[in-house]
Amino acid sequence: MGDLTPVIAAAVAFAVTAASGYFVIPFLRKLKFGQTILDIGPNWHKDKQGTPTMGGVMIVLGLLLGLTVSFAYSAGTQGRYAYEIMHHTYRRSIFISGILMALAMGAIGFMDDYIKVVKKRNLGLTARQKTFLQLLVSAGYLVSLRVTGMTTTSIPFVGDIDVTHGAGLLFWPIALLFIYGFTNAVNLTDGIDGLASSVTLVVACAFMLIAGFLYNMVMNTLAAALAGACVGFIVWNAKPAKVFMGDTGSMFLGGMVVAVSFGCGRPVLLIFAGITYFLEALSDIIQVAYYKKTKKRFFKMAPLHHHFEMCGWSEQKIVLVFSGITVIGCAVALLPVLMNW
């Protein structure tokens, strides 16, 4: 029988995340932690006013317990996951630093959500405050990678690039912007019921396969737990959503997909697997730049999912189409791994 560690991680993460909704959502309602809908958003989103937010804590809880139970199982059965954690110093370090980075991003999102719900307005942390904290966490994560032994990164068709001297040193500032950008891109993707969790589910499954093909059981299990937690959250977040993940969840998910991609040693593959995140962020950038130059809007509304809402697409259709686009991007990301490029 094969190692069941990833299966257990996914199953427990799903079960805990889904079950936690039965007490987390009523608790959030009791605290009146409801979402305030921006006046500039689609009019029909006003119906979502008051839906509990900060439900991302369910995802965090499910993922952490999924990893804990799966690790305990692997240790008890002397599985490969436990072996890698105990004997592969670098993989253990990048695993721990990745989770801590994602938790720190989630904590920033939690602060933002808390300010919003307490003051009953969609403002939260200022852009400068959030940017400073996110860059600080990103820089800390990269320092931890270098200190624990990261010397190369792999690029399809090019191979391993030495990031310790010469032109390779450019990797670090690019990686800083990469982490910051993708964390915020996932945050932007969280705008309609089930979208961010569905897209991230597909991305997590892709990196679960990538890690498996690279014989990286630690990242394989981490991605499996992430996938399971996303499915558990979709139970409550699919339209009509009973809870929103808030910045607590979306920024944690952003940190997690970044952590898994770096943990596999191939962060560049997130550009393809995370194509939906990229397009959402790009649409926002285009909208702002175009409006500043012409005082007109390029899209009917940004980010991109709102544009299609304004075009008459249902939320379910947007989730289905965007998830399908993500599947295609993930297939492209898998190709160089399968071909050993």
Tokens read off for 165: 């001297």
In the chain, what is the straight-line distance between the N-terminal and C-terminal CA atoms, in Å?
Answer: 30
Q: What is the pLDDT of residue 315?
A: 92
Task: Provide the pLDDT confidence category of residue 78 given band limits of 50, 70 and 90.
Answer: confident
Q: What is the pLDDT of residue 47?
A: 60
Q: Which of 141, 11, 138, 135 lies closest to 73, judged by CA?
A: 11
Tokens read off for 25: 């959502």
Please indicate whether residue 35 or residue 6 has the higher confidence score (pLDDT). 6
Q: What is the pLDDT of residue 340?
A: 79
Please indicate whether residue 141 or residue 90 has the higher confidence score (pLDDT). 141
Task: For the chain, give the number of residues.
Answer: 341
Average model confidence (pLDDT) for the chain?
90
Q: What is the pLDDT of residue 135?
A: 97
Amino acid (one-letter) located at 154: S
Averaged pLDDT, 168-183: 95
Tokens read off for 84: 């890698």
* 237, pLDDT greater than 80: yes
Cα torsion angle, 241, 255, 72, 9, sign: positive
Rg (CA), the chain: 20
Q: What is the pLDDT of residue 322?
A: 97
Averaged pLDDT, 192-196: 93
Strand partners, 161: 153
Q: What is the pLDDT of residue 233?
A: 97
- pTM for this structure? 0.93
Q: 10 Å Cβ neighbour count for 284?
A: 18
Tokens read off for 241: 């959503």
* 39, pLDDT greater than 70: no
Alpha-helix runs per DSSP H in 78-194: 80-87, 89-119, 127-147, 171-189
CB 228 within 8 A of CB 60: no
Of the candidate ranges 70-79, 105-114, 130-139, 175-184, the one whose mean pLDDT is the lowest:
70-79
Tens of pLDDT along 281-316? 999 999 999 999 998 899 899 899 999 999 999 999
CB 244 within 8 A of CB 27: no
Q: What is the pLDDT of residue 48?
A: 66
How do the residues of the chain divide into helix, strand and coil, expressed in percent and rounded to 5? 75, 5, 25
CB < 8 Å & 24+ apart, contacts of 182-185: 182/254, 182/257, 182/258, 182/270, 182/274, 182/277, 183/105, 183/134, 183/138, 183/251, 183/254, 183/255, 183/258, 184/134, 184/254, 184/281, 185/254, 185/274, 185/277, 185/278, 185/280, 185/281
Q: What is the pLDDT of residue 1?
A: 43
Tens of pLDDT along 147-162? 988 999 988 888 889 9
DSSP 37: P
How many Å apart are CA 231 and CA 10, to the nearest integer? 9
How many Å apart are CA 264 and CA 302, to the nearest integer? 32
Tens of pLDDT along 100-139? 999 999 999 999 988 888 766 666 788 899 999 999 999 9
